[in-house]
Amino acid sequence: MARPIMIQGTMSNAGKSILAAGLCRIFMQDGYRTAPFKSQNMALNSYITSEGLEMGRAQVVQAEAAGIRPHVDMNPILLKPTTDVGSQVIVHGISRGNMKARDYFAMKRSLIPEIMASYERLSNAYDILVIEGAGSPAEINLKSDDIVNMGLAKLVDAPVLLAGDIDRGGVFAQLYGTVALLEQEERQRIKGLIINKFRGDRSILDPGTAMLEQLCGIPVMGVVPYMDVDIEDEDSLSARLDNGQAPGLVDLAVIRLPRISNFTDFNVFSRIPGVSLRYVSRVSELGMPDLVFLPGTKNTMDDLLWMRQNGLEAAVLKLAHKQVPIWGICGGYQMLGEVLRDVSGVESAGGREVPGMGLLPLRTEFQEEKVRTQVEGSLGELDGVLAPLSGRCISGYEIHMGRTSIDREHGAMDTAMLVSWRREPVICRPASYVMEVQDTDQQGCERKRVKEDGWNRGNIYGAYIHGMFDHPGIAETIVSSLAARKGISMDEVREGDYEAYRQQQYDKLADVLRSSLDMDAIYKMMGL
């Protein structure tokens, strides 16, 4: 059975996910078979595994740091907020529908057997499990039915490291207050405190850490500096979404939808010299970018209406008229079409129909069964500024409730954006597309299907595929094409290996944590 260690935080966004990823990397470097685990994750950033199952991206990042393939057992419960008081509940990678928060709270303990089944499978396969908590363990109104913090730590008998965020201020009160609100048995599980995101001279903290240790009776096992590492963030609390960046030589604008999902699609652009990646939520922030991205969203119709009400839709349409490239992904792709229909009430009770932006000849129908599949393919013969992308290979994944069809009569002069090979388990059954079965493996559990996907009209581009910009050369070709249009030389733009870059970032993270944490004490608390 694997040895567990759990990272909990004094609040959301205290740095649990990054700390867990760093520990995964350290343990992997030290020769241990390591896997991440988070029993319940609430996030709009998700990923589709090779089995066609959905899980939170934070555990995908941690699995990458550990050098292993992501598996849905690493995140058995995923909650994707659909409204302020409800979420889509995904268990072992498959949606069980939308639930109000009160209803989910009343039934979540019934999911403990499924959580433990995932945990035990991982425990039998690995040496160490790095467990991430959620929010704070001191939410006293939620503790009685906790399945993700101290409740889980008790179930799996895990020692706990408690992290506080000094960058937000009040870190000593955070840590002491959290410990004080726990039951005695829970306090005894906390074996070490971590002060995270520190800037400045460590010695200035020494009197405070000594007093904190005395008050809590728990050692401070590290002061982690504010790290300059480029690793995917967990959710919409990400500092990446703050719009404080000035336009660069090539300026990319992402519409920051209220229910934005999978904004990690655009992270690759932020590491290219001379490129600004701005998240825009008001017309006054939009300006005249070189390209506008319409990202994924958990509620396409409501977010389109939000754009319509605050003037962003009209502003984007004006940019499109001026031949500024517009690229929609998933929900953003659906918005570009003529109409969106939700007869079954998938996104909203009672069902409705909403006109789209009218930039592509698309009709989208929302259905209760979710499409979940990994994709490989190649881009077609594209028009417009981004024509240099034509024929380039891509890979990624699809995750959506809508099925989008092309109005061939009105889109006769346009082109399919790509031809894709879809690798999908039979369980997905996305039957709304007409596709030719090309191959079935010996177990009959995977099919390869080829189809035309996405659509291109001039400088308007759209597709369902997440993660395609991470494929080697895609982001760089987009940037160099936009630069060339402006007559700008982008000598710094090179065809980079984004996967190699990410691995370098994980190693950099591990180096910082090794120098900041008492790893000998951490190994000792785990019995290693």
Q: What is the pLDDT of residues 93-108, one digit of tens each?
A: 999 988 998 899 889 9
Q: Residue 449 has what pLDDT?
A: 54
Averaged pLDDT score across all residues of the chain = 88
Instruction: Tell me what the mean pLDDT of segment 175-181 comes to.
Output: 97
| 330 part of the active site | yes
229-238, 277-286, 350-359, 502-511 — which is least confidently predicted? 229-238
Q: Residue 220 has what pLDDT?
A: 97
Q: What angle do CA 498, 491, 329 make, to 5 degrees?
A: 45
pLDDT at 217 over 60: yes
User: In this predicted model, what pLDDT tens digit does every residue of 466-479 receive, in sequence order?
Assistant: 999 999 999 999 99
Q: Is the dihedral of CA 100, 103, 108, 111 positive or negative?
A: negative
Coil/strand/helix, residue 329? strand
Q: What are the distances in angstroms from CA 360 to CA 96, 334, 385?
A: 32, 9, 17
Confidence at 508, pLDDT banded by 50, 70, 90: very high
Please give the Cα distance from 7 to 160 (Å, whole number). Answer: 6
Confidence at 436, pLDDT banded by 50, 70, 90: very low
Please give the Cα distance from 253 to 450 (Å, whole number). Answer: 32
Please give the Cα distance from 258 to 297 (Å, whole number). Answer: 8
Instruction: Tell me what the mean pLDDT of segment 306-331 comes to.
Output: 96
Instruction: Tell me what the mean pLDDT of segment 340-350 comes to.
Output: 83
Question: Beta strands 339-342 and 291-294: pairing type?
Answer: unpaired
pLDDT at 52 over 70: yes
Please give the Cα distance from 119 to 157 (Å, whole number). Answer: 12
Active-site residue identified among 92, 400, 466, 471: 466
User: In this predicted model, what pLDDT tens digit does every residue of 2-34 receive, in sequence order?
Assistant: 999 999 999 988 999 999 999 999 999 999 999
- How would you class 51 by CB atoms within 10 Å of its CB: exposed for 0-12, middle for 13-18, buried for 19 or more? middle
Give the domains, in start order, of the chain with CATH numbers: 3-231+503-525 (3.40.50.300), 250-489 (3.40.50.880)
Strand partners, 402: 366
Burial 86-104 (b: 16+ CB within 10 A, else e): bbbbbbbbebeebbeeeeb
Instruction: Tell me what the mean pLDDT of segment 262-267 comes to.
Output: 91
| Percent above pLDDT 90 for the chain | 67
Question: Beta strands 415-425 and 362-379: pairing type?
Answer: antiparallel
The encoded tokens of residue 177 equal 């207050």
Identify the top-confidence range among 6-15, 231-240, 339-348: 6-15
Please give the Cα distance from 451 to 251 (Å, whole number). Answer: 33
Active-site residue identified among 330, 400, 428, 471: 330
User: In this predicted model, what pLDDT tens digit does every residue of 437-453 receive, in sequence order?
Assistant: 233 333 333 445 556 77
| 428 part of the active site | no
36-50, 297-311, 422-436, 480-494 — which is least confidently predicted? 422-436
Strands (E), 227-382: 250-255, 260-261, 275-280, 291-294, 296-297, 326-329, 339-342, 352-355, 362-379
| Percent above pLDDT 70 for the chain | 88
What single letter denotes the amino acid at residue 227? M
Please give the Cα distance from 202 to 346 (Å, whole number). Answer: 52
